[in-house]
Amino acid sequence: DVKVTQSSRYLVKRTGEKVFLECVQDMDHENMFWYRQDPGLGLRLIYFSYDVKMKEKGDIPEGYSVSREKKERFSLILESASTNQTSMYLCASSSPGDGYTFGSGTRLTVV
């Protein structure tokens, strides 16, 4: 069964910490995406990548960066976590012509 795996299901971090959210896919997909989901705001795209070492900003990139050193891994980085980054973070991957496959999500709380 194809999978997108996010490293943590729940995470609690302190304000100002550097936070890494990891996502790995085993489908050899070219495209990978990071979304966050908040009540009343739905899913919003943070960053995406169409290839290794390539990244593009989504709709809300401020306060985030990403890294894609290998095709199967796409990392989301919060350089200095803030309380307004408390959210559910969802990673997804796809190939052209395919639907997205999402991970189970990481619920991040910044205190």
Partner 1 sequence: DAKTTQPTSMDCAEGRAANLPCNHSTISGNEYVYWYRQIHSQGPQYIIHGLKNNETNEMASLIITEDRKSSTLILPHATLRDTAVYYCIVRATNAGGTSYGKLTFGQGTILTVHP
Nearer to partner 1, 4 or 78 (CB): 4
Q: Kindly list the distances between the CA atom of residue 66 and the CA atoms of 30, 41, 54, in Å, as whole numbers in the listed order.
A: 15, 22, 10
In the bound state with partner 1, the residue whose beta carbon lies nearer, of 7 and 100, is: 100
Choose between 3 and 18: whose C-beta lies nearer to partner 1: 3
Smallest distance, partner 1 to C-beta of residue 55, A: 13
x/- mask, partner 1, residues 1-30, rule CB under 8 A, reads ---x--------------------------
Among the residue ranges 13-21, 38-46, 68-76, 78-86, the one whose residues contact partner 1 (CB under 8 A): 38-46
Position 60: which residue type? I
Contacting residue, 42, 62, 69, 83, with partner 1 by CB under 8 A: 42
* Both tokens assigned to 74: 């796409």
What residues line the site for partner 1 (CB under 8 A)? 4, 31, 33, 35, 42-45, 48, 58-59, 90, 92, 96-105
